[in-house]
Amino acid sequence: MAAVKHNDYSFLQSVNAFVDDASHFVKISPQLLYQIKVCNSVLRIRFPVRIGKDVMVVEAYRAQHSHHRLPTKGGIRYSEHVNQDEVMALAALMTYKCAVVDVPFGGAKGGVKINPYKMTPAQLERVTRRYTFELVRKNFLGPGIDVPAPDMGTDQRVMAWILDTYLSLKPDDPHGYACVTGKPRELSGIAGRTEATGLGVMYGIREAVSVKQDMRRLGLSTGLEGKTVVIQGFGNVGYHSAYFLWKEGAKIIAIIEYDTAIYNPDGFDIPDVKQYWDQNKRLSGYPKAKMEIKPKEKALELECDILIPAALEGQIHSGNVDRIKAKIIAEAANGPVTYQAHKKLVERGVWIIPDIYLNAGGVIVSYFEWLRNIMRVRFGRIEKRFQEWSNRRIIKLIEEATGKKFPEKIITEASEGPSELALVRSGLEETMASTYQQLREVLRRYRNMKDLRTAAYYSAINKVATTYKLMDIFP
Ligand code: GLU
The model's pLDDT over 266-313, given as tens digits with 9 standing for 90+, comes to: 999 999 999 999 999 999 999 999 999 999 999 999 999 999 999 999
Point out the ligand 1 atom lying closest to the alpha carbon of residue 334: 4
Distance from the alpha carbon of residue 57 to the mean position of ligand 1, in angstroms: 26
Give the whole-angstrom CA distance, residue 17 versus residue 454. Answer: 11
**Catalytic residue set:** 109
Do residues 162 and 294 share a domain?
Answer: no
Is the separation of the CB atoms in 203 and 197 below 8 Å? no
Instruction: State the pLDDT at residue 52.
Output: 86
Give the number of the atom of ligand 1 that is nearest the alpha carbon of residue 151.
1
Same domain (yes/no): 212, 332: yes
Categorize the per-residue pLDDT at 470 as very low, low, confident or very high, splitting at 50, 70 and 90: confident
137 and 199 belong to one structural domain: no
Provide CB contacts within 8 A for 42, sequence distance 6+.
61, 62, 63, 64, 84, 87, 88
| Residue 143 within any structural domain of the chain | yes
Q: Which domain holds residue 325?
A: 191-383+418-475
CB within 8 Å of 424: residues ≥ 6 apart:
190, 191, 192, 193, 196, 365, 368, 379
- Same domain assignment for residues 279 and 369: yes
Closest atom of ligand 1 relative to the 363 alpha carbon: 8
Give the pLDDT score at 381.
86
Q: What is the pLDDT of residue 214?
A: 97
Distance (angstroms) between ligand 1 centre and the Cα of 182 equals: 9
Q: What is the pLDDT of residue 1?
A: 43
Q: How far is the CA of 339 from the centre of ligand 1 (A)?
A: 22
What's the Cα-to-Cα distance from 27 to each of 331, 376, 461, 462, rounded to whole Å? 28, 41, 10, 9
Q: How far is the centre of ligand 1, averaged over its atoms, from the C-alpha of 74 (Å)?
A: 5
Pocket test for ligand 1, best of 366, 371, 432 (most atoms within 8 A of CB): 366
Best residue among 363, 365, 367, 432 to mutate for probing ligand 1's pocket (most ligand atoms within 8 Å of CB) is 363
Average pLDDT, stretch 27-56?
95
Are both 229 and 303 inside the same structural domain? yes
| CA Rg value for the chain | 23
Residue 399 lies in a domain: no
Whole-angstrom Cα distance, residue 242 to residue 234?
A: 8
The answer to the question of residue 127 being in a domain is: yes
* pLDDT number for residue 474: 81
Of the three residues 129, 161, 187, the one that is the final residue of a domain is 187
Confidence band of 5 (pLDDT split at 50, 70, 90):
low
Based on the domain organization, do 182 and 319 belong to the same domain?
A: no
**Domain boundary, last residue among 187, 209, 232:** 187
**Domain end marker among 187, 211, 226:** 187
Question: Domain of 472: which CATH number?
Answer: 3.40.50.720
Determine the residue of 151, 156, 367, 431 to mutate for testing ligand 1's pocket, defined as the one with the most ligand atoms within 8 A of the Cβ atom: 151
Residue 163 and residue 297 share a domain: no
Is 140 within a domain? yes
Same domain, 70 and 154: yes
CA of 17 to the centre of ligand 1 (A): 22
Contact (Cβ atoms closer than 8 angstroms) between residue 166 and residue 136: yes
Q: Are residues 79 and 173 in the same domain?
A: yes
User: Mutate which of 183, 197, 241 to test ligand 1's pocket (most atoms within 8 Å of Cβ)?
Assistant: 197
Q: Is the pLDDT assigned to residue 50 strictly greater than 90?
A: yes
- Side by side, the strands of the sheet bearing 106-112 are 41-51, 54-64, 106-112, 72-78, 146-150
**Whether 256 contacts 296, CB under 8 Å:** yes
Residue 313 belongs to some domain of the structure: yes
Query: Does 1 map to a domain?
Result: no
204: which DSSP letter? H
CA dist list (Å): 6 to 64, 300, 312, 323, 325: 30, 18, 17, 15, 20
Nearest atom of ligand 1 to the alpha carbon of 73 = 9
DSSP 475: -
pLDDT of residue 58: 98
Q: Round the average pLDDT of the chain to a whole number and report it.
A: 96
CB-defined site of ligand 1, < 6 Å? 73-75, 149, 151, 181, 334, 359, 362-363, 366
How far is the C-alpha of 349 from the C-alpha of 333, rounded, in Å? Answer: 21
- Per the domain annotation, does 359 fall within a domain? yes
pLDDT tens per residue across span 143-177: 999 999 999 999 999 999 999 999 999 999 999 99
Question: Is residue 114 one of the residues assigned to a domain?
Answer: yes
Q: What is the CATH number of the domain that holds 98?
A: 3.40.50.10860
Reply yes or no on whether the pLDDT at 452 is more than 60: yes
Q: Distance from the CA of 149 to the center of ligand 1, in angstroms? A: 6
Q: Nearest 5°: CA angle at 414, between 413 and 419?
A: 70
Centre of ligand 1 from the C-alpha of residue 137, in Å: 23
Residue 260 has pLDDT above 70, yes or no: yes
The CA angle 164-41-435, to the nearest 5 degrees, is 80
Q: What single-letter amino acid sits at 360?
A: A
Ligand 1 closest atom vs CA 359? 10
User: In ligand 1, which atom is closest to the CA atom of 97?
Assistant: 10
Checking if the pLDDT of 354 tops 80, the result is yes
Number of domains forming the structure of the chain: 2
Summarize pLDDT for 203-241 with one digit per residue, the tens: 999 999 999 999 999 999 999 999 999 999 999 999 999
Whether residue 287 sits in one domain with residue 178? no
Q: Are residues 268 and 362 in the same domain?
A: yes
Same domain? 179 vs 200? no
